[in-house]
Amino acid sequence: MSVLVGKKAPSFSAGAVINGKEVVSGFSLDQFIGKNEVLFFFYPKDFTFVCPSELHAFQSKLGEFEARGVKVVACSTDTEESHWGWLQVPKNKGGIEGVTYPLVADTSKTISEAFGVLAGEYEYDMEGRLEASGPMIAYRGLFLIDKNGIVMHQLVNNFPLGRNVDEALRMVDALQFFQENGEVCPANWTKGDDGMKPSFDGVADYLAAH
């Protein structure tokens, strides 16, 4: 599993469902470079149990992310058709009806692999045949990407462990506070708290480059 923090987020172009209903091709995070931060998260599978709780939790806070200029985008290894079908199922029946942010279809599994969250890998057997080991679906990965396309925060949970959306929002606030003030955020920092003056070259280098 790779660490992408401080590196350019992998570029991709894939099918997706946007606005909760429209299937599109060629969806890419590159469209947000220079314009918006992106909260890009992976979930294992459509039509499951923990996943809809997370998707609805991000939807419930979508207005807060948007107020900060942040785009929320989700991704799994399911197809666009599967995403669309799940979006037609009401929440009280296990569906994700009402989710409006984009759902990317990583059917080739290359996006999950590029972001280092693919559970499983491809290998060749003794006869030279390509095989897959593991479930070949995405762990619960989450990536906060700045306007320059650089990964600033990364979190990866195993399948049983759902994420805290308020913590994701706190990380957005911390990133934007740092960008606006040039001050770093100590442990348990929340919006409205004081920051600290940086005292190492890495912070100065980042600010100089961005």
Question: Rounded CA gap, 55 and 102, in Å?
Answer: 11
Look at residue 183 and tell me whether its pLDDT is greater than 60: yes
> 50-60 and 165-181 are packed helices; what angle lies between their axes, rounded to 10 degrees?
40
Give me the pLDDT at residue 31, please.
98
Question: Rounded CA gap, 118 and 97, in Å?
Answer: 26
Q: Are 209 and 179 in contact (CB under 8 A)?
A: no
In this structure, the number of other CB atoms found within 10 A of the CB of residue 176 comes to 16
- Give the residue numbers marked as catalytic: 51
Q: How confident is the model at residue 177 (pLDDT cuts 50, 70, 90)?
A: very high
Query: Domain coordinates of the chain in residue numbers?
Result: 14-162
Mean pLDDT of the 41-47 span: 98
Give me the pLDDT at residue 1, please.
58
Question: Rounded CA gap, 58 and 66, in Å?
Answer: 11
* 102-130 pLDDT per residue, tens: 999 999 999 999 999 999 887 877 888 87
Task: Choose which CATH entry (3.90.440.10, 1.20.120.420, 3.40.50.700, 3.40.30.10) describes domain 14-162.
Answer: 3.40.30.10
14-30 burial code (b ≥16 CB/10 A, e <16): bbbbeebeebeeebebe
**Percent of all residues in the chain with a pLDDT value above 70, rounded to a whole number:** 94
* 65-97 pLDDT per residue, tens: 999 999 999 999 999 999 999 999 999 999 999
Q: How confident is the model at residue 210 (pLDDT cuts 50, 70, 90)?
A: low
